[in-house]
Amino acid sequence: MSNERGTRTIHGGTPESAAMLANVKRAMAITATLNRLTFEDADKIRALFSELIGKQVDESFLLIPPFYTAGGNEIRVGRHVFINQNCTFHDLGGLDIADEVMIGPNVSLITTSHPLDPSKRRSTTIGKPIVIERNVWIATGATIVGGVTVGENSVVAAGSVVTRDVPANTLVGGNPARAIRPIGSD
């Protein structure tokens, strides 16, 4: 079930929940194969990532394994996207990555969460979209949670936890991430 803000709620024991689980199993099989490849296997990596997301990625796409996801079919990537090693993308809520984006190692893009109410936590999964706009750099070890848009040309500093939208042309950092300064032509 979805609502007008892009939030997707999946309750356990439903056909949608069964489909989500089947997709997780599919993604794990594909990423297990992808994660046995090396940097020199760029064409095979692109082919497997294309299979994972259900759409052909551009020849300029570059990913260094290992890579982890809990779905894959809700990931969309643009041209000249670079994903460094050991990244985790949970994409149930939708994950849009625009052109020219650089993602550092150990970055987590997590669109999924659970209700705060303990009685509902194990039976409900909530997905909220993440949008990464053009020419963004997400540095090492950053985490971005669902419901966030990172604006064009922005930089997310290493180790940051992004819980709110990032304006275009802004350096953010910290936990929770806050604007540090505007980014302009130097």
The catalytic residues are 114
Q: How many angstroms separate the most distant Cα atoms in the chain?
A: 55
Specify whether the CB–CB gap between 104 and 139 falls below 8 A: yes
155, with CB counted inside 10 A (0-12, 13-18, 19+), is buried
Q: What is the phi/psi pair of residue 71, to 5°?
A: 165, -80
Residue 164 CB neighbour total at 10 angstroms:
14
Specify whether the CB–CB gap between 38 and 46 falls below 8 A: no
